[in-house]
Amino acid sequence: MPAPELNEEMDDVAPEVVATRVDITVGPEDEGLRLDRVLARHLPEFSRTRLQALIAEGRVQRAGQPIAGGSAKAVAGESYSVEVPEPEDATPAAQDIALNIVYEDDHLIVVDKPAGMVVHPAPGSPDGTLVNALLFHCGASLSGIGGVRRPGIVHRLDKDTSGLIVVAKNDRAHKRLAAQFADHGRTGPLERAYLAFIWGAPDLPSGTVDAPLARHPVARERIAVRTGGRFAITHWQRLATYADTLGRPIASLVECQLETGRTHQIRVHMAHIGHPLLGDTVYGVGQRTRASRLPDTTRQALDGLGRQALHAARLGFEHPATGDFMAFESPLPADLARLQETLAAGG
C-alpha cells in the first residue's frame, strides 16, 4: 500500500555531471506563447516547473546565450538548445544530521522536525533532508516501502513547518501506520493537531473549512481552493486573540485538526476564510500592511521568523505492533514562542 499523499554534498569536489543537449525550433503554431509553455510542448517528458528550473540554471540558450526567463514570448523560427543533466542517483545518502528524537523503538521513530528541514529528497533538495538523517541514524532497518527517495515516510510536513512526524522502521509498521494516516482519524485513533498564528480574529470560537483543493491553474507550485479539486476538511478552534497598538484584534492563535491531509491544507484553508498565517508569504496577502499595525517587538519577532507560523504540536496513533495508543506533544519552538510572547504582551 503506498503512503498517503500528504506539507541540501558530502564531497568536497562535485562529481562531473553528464548532460544531454536537445535542440528545439519554434514553429508557427507556437508564435506568441510563453517560452516555457513552448518548451513543455516540445519536451512533454518534463514538467513546466522542471523546465523553469533549467532556465534558472542557465541551461536553456538561444544563439549560445542563456535566456533570462520563461515568460518571454516565443518567436517562430527561433532555435533553442536545452541542456538536460543526467538524473541524480535515486538512492539518498546517509548523512550525520542531528535529530530531536522524541521516541524510538524497533518499529518506529518519532522526531520533532525543525523548521527549514525538508522531509524527503526532491528536485531542489537532494540531500540534507530528514530521510538522509534517518538513514544515518537507523541504517538498513529503515523501511523502503514508501519508495526509494522517502523510505519509511507515511506523512509529511512542509519544509518550514516544525513539529512532530512519525516514521516507520519496517514494512509491517509502515503498512499499519499508512492505513491510519489514510483514514485521517475518521474511524480510527489517529490524532494530529497543529498550532497556527493567523491574521485577524475569527468571529466564531471554532469552525470547519470544507473546501476542495487542487494545483493553482497558473502558479503550479501553489495550491488553491478549486471546484472539482480533492475534498479537504480542516477543523479549527480559536485559543487566543491578540491586539494591535490601538487595542484592536490583529492576530489569533488557533488549533487546527485535519480530516484530510492535502498539501498546504491549513495554509490555504485559513487564507480562504480570510485569516492567512503570519509569515506566510505564499498565501498571505497584505502581510506588510498587517504587520505595520503590530507593536515594534512583535514586528521584529515576525521579521525574524522567516516562515509560516505553523507547528505540528500533537500527534497520536495506534502503535503498529502493540496496538497501544501513543500520544506525543511538542512545545512551540523558540521562534514561535518568542512571537507568542510578544503578541501576548502587546509589544
Residues involved in catalysis: 158
> What residue has cell string 503512503?
3
Q: Could you tell me if residue 95 is left (phi over 0), alpha (psi between -120 and 50 degrees) or otherwise beta? A: beta
Q: Are 332 and 313 in contact (CB under 8 A)?
A: yes
Distances (CA, A) of 160 to 50, 91, 336: 22, 24, 12
Q: Could you tell me if residue 279 is left (phi over 0), alpha (psi between -120 and 50 degrees) or otherwise beta? A: left
